[in-house]
A and B are shown apart, each in its own frame.
Chain A
Amino acid sequence: MTGQRTSRRTFLTSAAALATSVALVARPAISQFGPRVVVVGGGFAGASAARALRRADPRIAVTLVEANQTFTACPFSNGVIAGLRDLTAQQFDYDNVAADGIEVAINAANTVDPATRTVLLGNGQRLAYDRLVLAPGIDLRWDALPGYTEAAAEQMPHAWKAGAQTLLLRRQLEAMEDGGVVVIAAPANPFRCPPGPYERASLIAYYLKTKKPRSKLIVLDAKDAFSKQRLFQNAWAELYPGLIEWVSLSKGGKVTSVEVATKTLVTDFGTHKADVANVIPPQKAARIAEIAGVADRTGWCPIAPVTFESKLQPNIHVLGDATIAGGMPKSAFTANAQAKVCAAAVAKLLRGETPAEPKLINTCYSLVAPDYGINVAGVYRPVNGVLTEIEGSGGVSAADAPRAMRTLEATFANGWFKTITNEVFG
């Protein structure tokens, strides 16, 4: 510019352009004057996103909207059901999240209006956003399995959202007499935590073997294959011979209705009367996703994999279990990894920059017994707009690994839970 005269017109134009493109950057480093991001949902995805946004750019004013004062984590909650740990070990508050300078609004998000970019809370408060991050988790579909209503879940718990349902299933197992029959109904894909029903079967089998050895456990499955199947079935044969019966879809495993009064599960091939029935019903993205217009006809949310921006609504990003995320499973690790990628992308978008192409990892441990762990991992990148597992990477633990490795995997599983909950809530 030196030696050149800048005409008044040129200067005004460039100044206006600067003001438009970098208004966010030029503002003082006080959050209330920065861009506003509202995050709905305080689980592994939402709380991670809120914290990562503040770290990515402290000028972003972040509000985290969450209905519950206390978060109850699903990973490791199968251990609570089996009497191996207390529910309090699953519970976290938002004090440390708030200490990062995030406004934590303990309230329901009732509606989202994409046109005015506002979120209406249960208390009538209206939050304006420049970008919205929805991390609402799942809703159980009460319309998908005849007989299985919210009231029925008080008799035949799903325990697929950790908390009161987790404790209800545990109490039912404790009250069951030795020689009883436990039935788990597992849903078709996709659903939260693909290996979860089988980890649950394993740890309930551990409880039965040690406390009620004459009992039996049946898994009625709406699928012919499941996550870490060979590892689970090898371990069941080794640890719980004759205790667990897995009934696949093609062998009549799909539950088509339930009868609450008699705790009966009906399939096309017959009926199973249970002493304890754990019905894990089909699921969908939580209702606020539908209200915001980011869920498609499947009930889940399509996203662009670099930014996690909804393919259906601009300026709304969706994370975690609610998404259709290509090869990435609905896990806590995935939710946390997506949140950090999304937060970096949102910070860049708010500065008018282009987000870089990401890579994401998933790691998921399952406990077959307290000292017997198995895992699956994957590395993903966007290919033609879909998060795709990188060829030659990922997969499950070696099937022929020695028992010492399974013990080590259980130790790593415990370490993982402490690490991720520390990053998200600690």
Chain B
Amino acid sequence: MNATRMSAVVVVVLASIATAFAASEPPAGATSCSGCHPANAGVQSPVPPLAGKTAAEIVAQMQAFRAGQRSATVMDRIAKGFSDAEVQAIAAWYAQQH
């Protein structure tokens, strides 16, 4: 393997590592949720885990909280801090977590 080909291989490998990290990166705001929504199984809380819910389900609930259509202890006020695009990004990320 000559030097050029070797550096090309290095670049490809590095690029794929970077992509792997980028894919798992949580969008803005997402990591705060697990302060209340359990990230691990077996935690006794009335607050449901988010991982594994469908993106559509999370988006719908957030919209209902924001519009005041769903009774809430705290999510009504938190939902108002996120735009539609942010909610969709967070929902899509949680839908990928297992």
Question: A357 contacts which chain B residues (CB < 8 A)?
Answer: 28
Tally of A-B Cβ pairs under 8 angstroms: 138
B1 / chain A contacts, CB cutoff of 8 Å = none
Q: Contacts A26-B14, A359-B28, A361-B32 given; indicate if A57 touches B21 (C-beta within 8 A).
A: yes
Cα separation A1 to B78 with both chains bound (whole Å)? 50
New contact pairs (4) apart from A25-B17, A57-B21, A415-B46, CB-CB < 8 Å: A390-B81, A405-B73, A411-B46, A423-B39
Rounded to whole Å, the gap between the CB of A12 and the closest CB of chain B is: 9
Q: Among residues 379 to 408 in chain A, which have CB atoms less than 8 Å away from a CB atom of chain B?
A: 379, 381, 390, 392-395, 397, 405, 408
Cα distance, A112 to B64, chains bound together (Å):
49
With A6-B4, A11-B7, A422-B43 given, is the CB distance from A416 to B82 under 8 Å?
no
In the complex, the answer to whether A379 meets B78 with C-beta atoms within 8 Å is yes
> Could you jot down 12 A-B contacts, CB within 8 Å?
A6-B3, A11-B4, A336-B35, A359-B29, A359-B81, A375-B73, A379-B29, A379-B81, A416-B35, A418-B43, A419-B43, A426-B40
Inter-subunit contact A361/B28 (CB<8 Å): no
Partner of A379, one of B14, B45, B82: B82
Q: B81: which A residues are within 8 A, CB to CB? A: 359, 361, 378-379, 390, 392-394
| Nearest chain A residue, comparing its CB with the CB of B38 | A419
User: Within 8 Å CB of A277, what residues of B?
Assistant: none
Q: Do B80 and A397 have beta carbons less than 8 Å apart?
A: no
Q: Which 10 A-B pairs have the closest CB atoms?
A: A379-B81, A415-B45, A393-B81, A359-B29, A361-B32, A340-B31, A393-B80, A359-B28, A337-B32, A390-B81
Residue of A nearest to B47 (CB): A415
Q: Mark B47-74, 1 if CB is under 8 A from A, else 0.
A: 1000000000000000000000000011
Roughly how many angstroms separate A416 CA and B8 CA in the complex, as a whole number? 50
Q: Looking at the complex, which one of A22, A377, A392, A416 makes contact with B45 (CB distance below 8 Å)?
A: A416
Specify the chain B residue showing the minimal Cβ separation from A341: B31
Q: B42 to chain A: closest CB distance in Å? A: 8
Flag whether A225 is at the interface (Cβ < 8 A).
no
Q: How large is the interface on B (under 10, 10 to 19, 20 to 34, 35 or more residues)?
A: 35 or more
B10 CB within 8 Å of chain A: yes
Chain A, interface residues (CB within 8 Å), range: 35 or more
Contact A337 B8 (CB under 8 A): no
CA distance A379 to B28 in the complex (A): 11
A394 to B76, CA, bound (A): 8
Say how far B9's CB is from chain A's closest CB, in angstroms. 11
CB distance from A424 to the nearest CB of B (A): 10
Contacts of B29 in A (CB 8 A): 358-361, 379
Rounded to whole angstroms, the CA-CA distance of A349 and B46 in the bound complex is: 37
Q: Closest Cβ of chain A: how far from B73's Cβ, in Å? A: 5
A363 contacts B46, C-beta separation under 8 Å: no
Given contacts A363-B36, A405-B73, A423-B35, is CB(A394)–CB(B78) below 8 Å? yes
Of chain B, the residue at the smallest CB distance from A331 is: B35
Which A residues touch B43, using CB under 8 A?
415, 418-419, 422, 426
Query: When chains A and B are docked, how far (Å) is the Cα of A418 from the Cα of B40?
Result: 11
- Counting chain A CB atoms within 10 Å of each CB, the highest count among B25, B40, B77, B82 belongs to B77
